[in-house]
Amino acid sequence: MYSELCEKLGIDVPIFAFSHCRDVVVEVSKAGGLGVLGAGWFSAEQFSQELDWIDTHIGDKPYGIDIVVPQKYEGMEEPDAKTLEAQLMQQVPEEHINFATALLEKHGVPELDQEQANQPKLAGWTYATALPLFEQSLNRPNCKLLANALGTPPADIIDRAHADGMLVGALCGKLKQAIQHKEAGLDFIVAVGGEGGGHAGEISSIVLWPQAIDAVAPLPVLAAGGISSGRQMLAAMATGAAGVWMGTQWLTVAEAETQPAQKDSYLKASSEDTVRSRAWTGKPARLIRNRWTDAWDAPDTPDPLGMPLQGLVTHDAMLRTELYAGSGDAQAVAMNPCGQAIGMINEVETCRDVMFRLLSEYADALEKVNQVPGS
């Protein structure tokens, strides 16, 4: 299991681990893959501290970062984050804030303290908020990769990342998006099937992967969506993928900072328990179905707003259900993004054990495929 990306990035195997946890990033990179730290929920100061920690603990291994800059969103012409948040908050109906607050209270989720409640609510889902995060990754010798989760990255970010020696890529859920990424001069593409967690399209992985690979060849394409075993990795590589991009797999590992109650929700979930909903960010995203998603999808309740407005509505709910994951009935209204592969994950493993298992399963599956009948 080797590809051109391995050589360019200095990794042993093309297994890319997306995670919001710095420990997962470090351990996967040390095990021969490439850890990618999601930037979306950090402030610039927090993200800088996370990257400093990674630089200190990762040794000579490479890693990457993932930012979220949609191609279209409300207020995209405003470059200042504070001004943008103030403008956007004026567009959020009080009805939506009250509805979200009532759901949290109904399920016994404690309120934030004053300091927590006064934190900026606009996540890194805009150019104004993502650019400061991206800039924290510059001039870090081990940071070798930048990916944008929603659309082609802005041209200035592509140019600055390339000048800093990074490979630049983006995720896509449709064929036309893959072609747009190639035309923008990106170095790789992540094709995310509809089985994937978080923001993903509707086209299934086994259909999207070969289409995207053929459309942008010879640009390398990483396969994502529904991968949690070596057999699935082999299937992805058989379609021509240059590697695999995995997110859901790392939510329950021993190194993940997920609180016990939230991790337990993931471990108990089946593949049928996930749903695509706009109730989290305003864009369709796959997460565990619960009373939060059901409430927002009901016909007699407020419709979710577009991104990033819905994120302003859900910010406090995200923070409260993570901080107080085991309080009251918090998991009934928690936003737990994950893909359908969550149904294959039923125990806690270390990152190193996951890597070993994936490669062992891959080798076993490849041997079985190559086995000559009667030999």
Share of the chain residues as helix, strand and coil, in percent rounded to the nearest 5: 45, 15, 40
The predicted structure's pLDDT at residue 29 = 98
Domain positions in the chain: 4-361
Determine the Cα–Cα distance for residues 13 and 29; give it in Å rounded to an integer: 10
The predicted structure's pLDDT at residue 375 = 59
Tokens of 105: 């209270």
The predicted structure's pLDDT at residue 73 = 80
What are 255-279's pLDDT values in tens digits? 999 899 999 999 999 999 999 999 9
**Pairing between strand 285-288 and 34-38?**
unpaired
The predicted structure's pLDDT at residue 158 = 97
At a CB cut-off of 8 Å and minimum separation 6, what does 307 contact?
70, 73, 74, 125, 281, 282, 283
Q: Are 50 and 36 in contact (CB under 8 A)?
A: no
Determine the Cα–Cα distance for residues 115 and 102; give it in Å rounded to an integer: 21
3: nearest Cα among 203, 167, 207: 167
**Pairing between strand 188-192 and 243-246?**
unpaired
Tokens of 258: 């997920």
Q: Are 95 and 303 in contact (CB under 8 A)?
A: no
Distances (CA, A) of 307 to 12, 149, 174, 313, 349: 37, 14, 19, 10, 34
The predicted structure's pLDDT at residue 242 = 98
Q: Which value, in Å, is the radius of gyration of the alpha carbons in the chain?
A: 20
The pair phi, psi for residue 19, each rounded to 5°, is -155, 150
Q: Which long-range contacts (CB under 8 A, 24 or more apart) does 262-265 make?
A: 262/321, 262/322, 262/325, 262/331, 262/334, 262/336, 263/348, 264/331, 265/331, 265/334, 265/336
* The dihedral sign for the CA sequence 291, 294, 297, 300: negative
Residue 37's DSSP bridge partners are: 19, 65
**Pairing between strand 274-277 and 285-288?**
antiparallel
Distances (CA, A) of 56 to 9, 185, 208: 19, 32, 38
With vertex at residue 355, the alpha carbon angle to CA 350 and CA 360, rounded to the nearest 5 degrees, is: 125
288 three-class SS: strand
The predicted structure's pLDDT at residue 267 = 97
Tens of each residue's pLDDT in the chain, 375 residues: 888 999 999 999 999 999 999 999 999 999 999 999 999 889 999 999 999 999 999 999 999 999 998 887 878 888 888 999 999 999 999 999 999 999 999 999 999 998 888 888 888 888 999 999 999 999 999 999 999 998 999 999 999 999 999 999 999 999 999 999 999 999 999 999 999 999 988 999 999 999 999 999 999 999 999 999 999 999 999 999 999 999 999 999 999 998 999 999 999 999 999 999 999 999 999 999 999 999 999 999 999 999 999 999 999 999 999 999 999 899 999 999 999 999 999 999 999 999 999 999 999 999 999 987 765
- Domain range 4-361, CATH architecture: Alpha-Beta Barrel (3.20)
Distances (CA, A) of 372 to 241, 366, 375: 25, 12, 6
Residue 245's DSSP bridge partners are: 16, 224
65 three-class SS: strand
Determine the Cα–Cα distance for residues 302 and 305; give it in Å rounded to an integer: 9
Query: Tokens 């036309």 appear where?
Result: 176
